[in-house]
Structure formats: structure tokens, C-alpha cells
Amino acid sequence: MHLLNLMFLIRFVEGDFDTYVKQIQKPHVWGGEPELFMASHVLQTPITVYMKDEKAGGLITIAEYGQEYGKEDPIRVLYHGFGHYDALLIHESKAPTHKSKL
């Protein structure tokens, strides 16, 4: 793994990195931000994460990974909270325009 990617990835991991790696390899453990970050680089595709926001009246972008691969045709996922993500299909004419300040 490239050192810069490793340093970026470590900031998402709580606790000891080696312990995290052992834990995430278990089949019952789900991925999160570190895995989305790495998936964008392995696939060389941008990944955009959305979350429902009542104040905005729809979806807002809360994270973007792999922007160096462009912004065209990203993989889109919806974050529900508590580490749960679902695949998201958005018709381009209805794509969210609100950006989070995260």
C-alpha cells in the first residue's frame, strides 16, 4: 500500500491499526469509511456518500472519495447512520446539489 494512502487510512481507524486489520478480515464485520476510501482507489472510481437531511429536504453529500479519478459516474452510497450503507441509484436529473461542510 502506498504510504500516503496508509497515512490517510489510519486517521479513519479507531485504536490500533493492526488490530483493526485483523478484525475487518472477519466475515461478520462490515466495512465503513476506510473501506470506501480504499475501494475508490482499487476500482479507480470516485465514490460519493449521501445522507438524508430533513432540513435540506432530501439528500446531502457527506463524503467523496477518489475525486482524482474524476467526478463522472461515481459509485453512490447512502449512509443511514451507525455504520450502515446501502447502494444508491440516482437519476442524474434528480442528483442532490447540497454539499455538506464535513
Q: What is the per-residue pLDDT for 93?
A: 61
Number of domains in the chain: 1
In a domain, 72, yes or no: yes
In tens, the pLDDT along 62-91 reads 999 999 999 888 999 999 887 789 999 877
In a domain, 7, yes or no: yes
Residues with Cβ within 8 Å of 24's Cβ and at least 6 positions away in sequence, in order, are 31, 34, 35
CATH of the domain at 77: 3.90.70.80
Confidence of residue 19 (pLDDT cuts 50, 70, 90): very high
State which residues form the domain around 74: 3-94
Distance, in Å, from the CA atom of 51 to the CA atom of 7, rounded to the nearest integer, reads 26
Per the CB < 8 A criterion, the answer to whether 50 and 60 are in contact is: yes
In a domain, 99, yes or no: no
Residue 59 has pLDDT above 90, yes or no: yes
